Structure 1
Amino acid sequence: MASTEDKPTNKENASSWKDSFYNPRTGEVLGRTASSWALILLFYLVFYCFLAGMFALTMWVLLLTLDDYVPRYRDRVPNPGLVIRPNTLDIVYNKSDPVVYGEYVKHLETFLQRYNDSQQENNKDCIPGEYYMQDDNEDMNKKACRFKRASLSLCSGLSDTTFGYHEGKPCVLLKMNRIIGLKPNGDPYINCTVKRDNPVQMHYFPSEGRIDKMYFPYYGRKAHENYVQPLVAVKLLLTKEDYNKELSVECRVEGSDLRNNDERDKFLGRVTFRIKVME
Structure 2
Amino acid sequence: MYDKMAKDGDNGWKEYVWNPRTREFLGRTASSWGLILLFYLVFYIFLAGMFCLTMYVMLQTLDDHKPKWQDRLSTPVQCLRVLTPSPLSLTGMVIRPKADEYYEITYNTQKTESWDMYAQTLDKFLSRKSGLFTSKSLLGEVKNNPKRSCQFNRTILEDCSGINDRYYGYQDGKPCIIIKLNRVIGMLPGKDGQAPFVTCGAKVNYSQPLVAVKFLNITTNEDVNIECRINANNIPTGSIRDKWAGRVSFKLRINTI
User: Same fold by TM-score, threshold 0.5 exceeded?
Assistant: yes
Q: Deviations over 1:96-155 (max 9, x none)?
A: 343553332133234335579xx8982249xxxxxxxx8xx5x535764988855x5654
- Which residue matches 1:83? 94
Q: Which fold has the larger relative contact order, with Cα–Cα distance below 8 Å and residues 6 or more apart in sequence? A: 1
Distance 1:163 1:123 in 2: 26
Distance 1:219 1:227 in 2: 9
* Structure 1 position 38, deviation (Å): 1.7
* Structure 1 position 10, deviation (Å): 6.2
Which residue of the other structure, out of 106, 111, 114, is the alignment partner of 2:120?
106
Contact 1:92-1:275 within 8 A present in 2 as well: yes
Moved beyond 6 Å, runs of 4+ = 145-148, 247-250, 261-267
- Which residue matches 2:235? 258
TM-score (norm 1): 0.58
Contact 2:190-2:199 within 8 A present in 1 as well: no
Distance 1:22 1:34 in 2: 11
- Structure 2 unaligned regions, length at least 5: 74-89
Q: How many matched pairs?
A: 230
Q: In the alignment, residue 30 of structure 1 is paired with which amino acid? A: L
Alignment of 1:163-182 (within 5 A): 163-182=168-187
Q: Deviations over 1:18-41 (max 9, x none)?
A: 655444543433332222112111
- Structure 1 unaligned regions, length at least 5: 126-133, 189-209
Distance 1:75 1:29 in 2: 57
Percent pairwise identity? 37
Residues 26 and 67 (structure 1), Cα distance of their counterparts in 2 relative to 1, 3 Å cut: same
Measured on the aligned residues, the alpha-carbon RMSD in Å equals: 4.6
Distance 1:249 1:24 in 2: 90
Distance 1:235 1:272 in 2: 15
Contact 2:108-2:115 within 8 A present in 1 as well: yes
Q: In the alignment, residue 71 of structure 1 is paired with which amino acid? A: K
TM-score (norm 2): 0.61
* Structure 1 position 166, deviation (Å): 0.9
Residues 227 and 254 (structure 1), Cα distance of their counterparts in 2 relative to 1, 3 Å cut: closer
Residues 27 and 122 (structure 1), Cα distance of their counterparts in 2 relative to 1, 3 Å cut: same
